[in-house]
Amino acid sequence: MKVEIAEGVTENTKARAINKKIRPQFAASPEGNLMFAILERAILDLAKVETKKTLSKREEDMRFLERRQAASFLKGEITCAGLCGVDPDWVRKVIKDGGLSLNIERIEG
């Protein structure tokens, strides 16, 4: 089932919708909660696109680094999902269908 994405939806809103779709696949146990929290953080970091023009160069660099590391993690084995019986390829499909890209490029402006 493909997720419809409305015009003007923020990256953060997309990430929250993606996490909401993925969450039920993880057991409601301390271990399941921990493994989902790791994945949730990576997806939220992937969506960190700042629209304010007031970020310092250092803040921009940190934001880019966080997004790049999140994308690298999500392109990999996603062990936290696999340990809980959740197919990493399915996770990547949900991310893609939810409108987030795993291809992170620096936008110079």
Rounded to whole angstroms, the Cα distance separating 69 from 63 reads 10
CA angle 100, 96, 107 (to 5 degrees): 35
Q: What are the tens digits of pLDDT across the range 7-55?
A: 678 899 999 999 999 999 999 999 999 999 999 999 999 998 766 667 7
**Domain chopping of the chain, boundaries:** 11-97
Q: What are the tens digits of pLDDT across the range 83-101?
A: 999 999 999 999 999 999 9
Rounded to whole angstroms, the Cα distance separating 64 from 78 reads 20
Write down the pTM of the prediction. 0.85
Rounded to whole angstroms, the Cα distance separating 7 from 27 reads 33
Q: What are the tens digits of pLDDT across the range 48-82?
A: 876 666 778 898 889 899 999 999 999 999 999 99
